Structures are given as C-alpha cells and as structure tokens.
Chain A
C-alpha cells in the first residue's frame, strides 16, 4: 500500500523567511502533484512533476522531485502572508487500468507578519 508522508504538519513562519516542505512516498511512482487548499475551499493545482530531477517554479514556490529517493520538496522563498494555506503532495498509483492519487497528510502553513 502506497503511503505518503509530509513534514512538517504545521509550519509557522515569518514573512520574508525561506522554508521547505518535504514529501516522502513508499512506492515507485513517476508522477507527483502539489496542491494548495485554502480553508473550506477545494484543491488548487500548483505543480505536476513527471520525471526524476524535475524542478518547477512559480513565483515564490519551487518544487522538485527525486524518484530514486522517493522524495519531493516544496521550497518557499521569502514567504508572504498570501501563501498561508494547507499544502498537499499527492502521488499517482497506477494498477491495471486505474490511476488514483494518494495524498499526504498536508502541511498547514501560517505566514505571520
């Protein structure tokens, strides 16, 4: 059974600081997704990482994937309050004709002034 673990579960950081969220998964997969969720809202797609060594950046967020280590990171640069949300990584598991996302536990990010 595929397990996806994120750490930390909760992150309080000051504006302007840098930090990294880690996502470890237990079974080989070649696709990993990062999503953002605001309280009471749905999931907003941030990044799709398709291959080993993939790196994607959007604004203050940068995601990377190491399929050999089964590790993805989401790096936050110079955090701003608007980044406060819960961030999920999700790994695709394909069995036969089915593909499903298995989500991590989520990291609740709080950016303070």
Chain B
C-alpha cells in the first residue's frame, strides 16, 4: 500500500514566480494537511483539508492557497514567491478518526532564488 506521495521532490523557482505542490494521501485517508519547515526549525501548519473542505489555516499570507480534490489528493499553491518561502513543504495524511496518527510524505524541497 502506497504511503503519502508528494511531487515534485525538488524545485527551484525565481522570486515572483508561482509554484504548485502536489500530495496524494494514503488510500482511505480523507484529511490532508500542509506544513512548512524552514531549515533548522520545526514544521509550521499551513492548511488542513477534510472531505474537500478547508478546516483550518495557519498564519500564512494569502499568497498561500490550497485545495483538495474528490479523490482526496491536494495541491498547495504559492504565488509571488519570496526568498523566505524556501523550505521543505510537507504533506500529512490522516484518516480523521479519533485515534489517528499523521503520516508525512517525503516532502518537496523548494528553493527560491
């Protein structure tokens, strides 16, 4: 059974550009969350989606947006990239039940130059 799949693995973008990151959750999991991890720090919550609806949003600017598709996969979009957006972006998959754990994908390493 496949785990959480993220693509692409690595990405280099120029300031001002736009980027789309993709995540496929574990089969049967309906909740996807996105986290940003800057080098040397713990991950920071960006979004949570459950059953295609946004359930939570972290303290990130409106340049960050996301959506979840009927098959529960998700996209994270970042507009007008800044150097400070350089980070590891992690997608977490969960079933949504009371005792659930969060399984993280391998992440997308975004470098903004």
Chain A residues at the B interface, C-beta cutoff of 8 Å? 4, 33, 35, 40-45, 48, 50, 88, 90, 95-106
Complex-state Cα separation, A78 to B35, whole angstroms: 33
Could you tell me the distance between the alpha carbons of A33 and B99 in the complex, rounded to whole angstroms? 11
10 cross-chain CB contacts under 8 A: A43-B90, A43-B104, A45-B103, A90-B43, A98-B48, A100-B45, A100-B56, A100-B58, A101-B35, A102-B45
- Quick check: A104 and B90 within 8 Å, CB to CB? no
Knowing A33-B102, A100-B33 are in contact, say whether A42-B90 is a contact too (CB < 8 A).
Answer: yes
User: What's the minimum C-beta distance from B52 to chain A, rounded to whole angstroms?
Assistant: 13
The residues of B with any CB-CB pair to A shorter than 8 Å are 33, 35, 41-45, 48, 50, 55-56, 58, 88, 90, 92, 99, 101-107, 109
Are B107 and A99 in contact, with the CB atoms below 8 A?
no
Give the secondary structure class of A's interface. strand
Cβ contacts under 8 Å, A40 to chain B? 109
Given A33-B101, A41-B107, A48-B99, 15 additional A-B pairs, CB 8 A: A41-B106, A42-B88, A42-B90, A42-B105, A42-B106, A44-B104, A45-B103, A48-B101, A96-B55, A98-B48, A100-B33, A100-B45, A100-B58, A101-B102, A103-B44
Contact present for B106 and A101 (CB under 8 Å): no
CB distance from B15 to the nearest CB of A (A): 24
* Contact status B42-A103, CB under 8 Å: yes
The minimal Cβ–Cβ distance linking B98 to chain A, given in whole angstroms, is 9
